[in-house]
Amino acid sequence: MNKIKTPRAGAAFFAASAAALTFAAPAVAQDLSGKTVEFVIPFSESGGSAKWANFFAPLLSEALPGKPTAIVGYRPGGGSTTGANWFQEQTTDDGTLIFGTSGSTQFPYLLGDPRVRYEYRDWQPVLASGTGGVVYLPADLGARFDGDLDDLQGEFFIFGSQGATTLDLVPLLAFKMLGLQVEPVFGIEGRGDGRLMFERGEANIDYQTSSAYLSNVVPLVEQNLAVPVMSWGILDAAGNIVRDPTFPDIPTFAEICDATAGCETSGVAWDAWRAFFVSGFAAQKLVYLPGAASPEVVAAYEQALVDILARPDFAEISTAELGVYPQMIGDAARVAHEAAITVSDEARTFVLDWLAADYGVTMQ
């Protein structure tokens, strides 16, 4: 198992994950009887965020006081900034609105994207979910994969992308480091739309976050229509990138990079990729209440999430739907939230220079 060590990261996430297992919210008096909770995500209905939100929505309906109806709403657009800008303006304070973000929402914020009119620190995090992702190829190209990508560096790839400053930044930079010739088709509304391009033969490289990969790509693999090439991996407690436990047989990007000519797991490009991987995957998906929500509402959600994680069947059902990743609540969620919206100046500068040089994307 490949381990790429960086001393800065890892411990905070795993300490946070451990804390989530022992967190106990205070007693609450909030009652949502007869109400409808809208769980809004800034993406389309076909991607990993939709899968994640639809997994948690019925569990929240059962666990929140008063057993309200919980529905998932979709506000795609602008690489997820449209929905986040909308949420910034919401003042709902009674617990009937929550918002789910992902790295595609965090990255524009980190990079100073002019479309961003939202401020993460105005919101109240109640859950942080780590996740992973898998890159895959069509069968003909996958047959040429032998543990490195040297033989595919001359191939021309098409990749359906939400945008260079969305979560797709992580694969786009990885492809660059691997020396692959990848032409992104920008403007899709969710990763599920990228998968549909792949299925229609309009794209010949794609990646999906773990939940969407498990439900929508594994069947393609089983039909020999897709071949997994690499996962992003996860962080262990010492800050090493190791194989994703959801996909233990799929090598990590670090392993493939080590094996591929011209790709290095050290230096400024690697440090920048790793920084955005942490923000985009180790603490990728977060659930927020509006800043106006009362302490009682926050406590009600935290207790409901504690109860959900304590269900005897939670490990089984979450593994099947989401993969094997930490679910962080309370202080653990706040630690993950802070990590997800913080990137060093050096990593930010490298990424901004690369985006300008390769895609003409500038934050003006």
Task: Based on the fold, state whether residues 319 and 286 are members of the same structural domain.
Answer: yes
Q: How many helices (H) and strands (E) does the chain have?
A: 15, 14
**Is the pLDDT score of 198 beyond 60?**
yes
Does residue 216 sit within a domain?
A: yes
Task: Based on the fold, state whether residues 111 and 145 are members of the same structural domain.
Answer: no
Q: Quote the mean pLDDT of the chain.
A: 90
Q: CB atoms < 10 A from the CB of 64, how many?
A: 26
Inter-axis angle of helices 103-111 and 81-88, nearest 10: 80
- The tens digit of pLDDT for each residue in 153-191 reads 999 999 999 899 888 999 999 999 999 999 999 988 888
- The residue among 298, 331, 333 whose CA lies nearest residue 93 is 298
- The tens digit of pLDDT for each residue in 6-32 reads 434 444 444 444 444 445 445 455 799
Mapped onto helix, strand or coil, the DSSP state of residue 97 is strand
CB 79 within 8 A of CB 89: no
- The residue among 209, 156, 210 whose CA lies nearest residue 185 is 156
Spatial separation of the C-alpha atoms in residues 102 and 117, rounded to whole Å? 16
- The tens digit of pLDDT for each residue in 223-232 reads 999 999 999 9
Q: What Rg, from alpha-carbon coordinates, does the chain have?
A: 20
Beta bridge partners, 72, equal: 39
- The tens digit of pLDDT for each residue in 98-121 reads 999 988 899 999 999 999 999 999
Token pair for 83: 């929905």
Task: Based on the fold, state whether residues 102 and 47 are members of the same structural domain.
Answer: yes
Does residue 263 sit within a domain?
A: yes
Does residue 95 sit within a domain?
A: yes
Task: Based on the fold, state whether residues 147 and 80 are members of the same structural domain.
Answer: no
Spatial separation of the C-alpha atoms in residues 133 and 272, rounded to whole Å? 18
Task: Based on the fold, state whether residues 172 and 195 are members of the same structural domain.
Answer: yes
Token pair for 149: 């990508």
Residues in the chain, total: 364
* CATH number where 185 lies: 3.40.190.10
Does residue 364 sit within a domain?
A: no
Task: Based on the fold, state whether residues 74 and 215 are members of the same structural domain.
Answer: no
- The residue among 188, 187, 195, 193 whose CA lies nearest residue 137 is 195
Which residues of 54-155 form beta strands (DSSP E)? 69-74, 97-101, 124-129, 133-138
Half-sphere exposure of 209 (CA within 13 A, CB side): 31
Residue 204: give the domain boundaries. Answer: 133-280+347-359
Q: What share of the chain is helix, strand, coil (3-state, %, to 5)?
A: 45, 20, 40
Task: Work out the end-to-end distance of the chain between its first and last CA atoms, rounded to an integer number of angstroms.
Answer: 42
- The tens digit of pLDDT for each residue in 41-88 reads 999 887 888 999 999 999 999 999 999 999 999 999 988 999 999 999
| Angle ∠(148,151,153) on CA atoms, nearest 5 | 95
**Is the pLDDT score of 357 beyond 90?**
yes
**To which residue do tokens 């009887």 refer?**
33
Task: Based on the fold, state whether residues 189 and 336 are members of the same structural domain.
Answer: no
Domain count, the chain: 2
- The tens digit of pLDDT for each residue in 285-315 reads 999 999 999 999 999 999 999 999 999 999 9
**Is the pLDDT score of 3 beyond 60?**
no
Q: CB atoms < 10 A from the CB of 227, how many?
A: 17
* CATH number where 46 lies: 3.40.190.150
CA separation, residue 105 to residues 112, 294, 340, 357 (Å): 12, 24, 10, 22
Instruction: Return contacts of 216-225, CB within 8 angstroms, 24+ apart.
Output: 216/192, 217/134, 217/136, 220/136, 221/136, 224/139, 225/138, 225/139, 225/199
Residues of the chain with pLDDT > 90, as a percent, come to 73
What stretch of H or E contains 12?
helix 11-22
